[in-house]
Amino acid sequence: MSENSELQKLNPQITEIEIGIRELRKVKVYPLSMADQLKLTDTITKAIAEQAHMLGQDIAVIAFIVKIIQENLGTVLSMATDEDGNAMLSEISNLQAAAIAGTVYETNYGIVVKNFNGLFGKLKALFLSERLLPLSVSDTDTVSKTSTESPGETEALPSDS
């Protein structure tokens, strides 16, 4: 049995990705803990909030994204691997970083979004099926009086003579 198969048995969310500029080596990418995931989400949210006023300017947006990546990629790599994330930056290519980022996203956010959408779909179906149906006419206690006069008939007003 391969090491990757054993990892999958222990925790199916553990993924191995090859990194390296000159020589490839495997790095295990682990799911983020709930605390790390909340910390990462908070960091990204704060950074976006700080730069929201620049979102209409293309160059500012690119600079903003680069800044977020530069300031946080090492931290994210440390959270998701057993490696020193900042040291790891000198060993990985952009393509390898994108593969790690994709794995971190799918493992920690993508699957969660899919699960919550499924849960909300089930809850929606549950609440829609329990919605009260309108009462039928026979179940009401209202008495209906039928008028024999046609709607066009009016009573004659007494004359003043």
**What is the secondary structure of 3-72 as a DSSP string?**
HHHHHHHH-TT-EEEEE-SSS-EEEEEPPPPHHHHHHHHHHHHHHHHHHGGGTT-HHHHHHHHHHHHHHH
8 pLDDT exceeds 90? no
Confidence of residue 42 (pLDDT cuts 50, 70, 90): confident
Q: Give the residue extent of every domain in the chain.
A: 3-114
**51 touches 59 (CB < 8 A):** no
Q: What's this model's pTM, rounded to 2 decimal places?
A: 0.57
**53 touches 47 (CB < 8 A):** no
Q: What's the chain's average pLDDT?
A: 76
Q: Which residues contact 54 (CB under 8 A, 6 or more apart)?
A: 60, 61, 64
Greatest mean pLDDT among 51-65, 87-101, 120-134 lies in 87-101
**32 touches 40 (CB < 8 A):** yes
61 pLDDT exceeds 80? no
18 pLDDT exceeds 90? yes
**51 touches 63 (CB < 8 A):** no
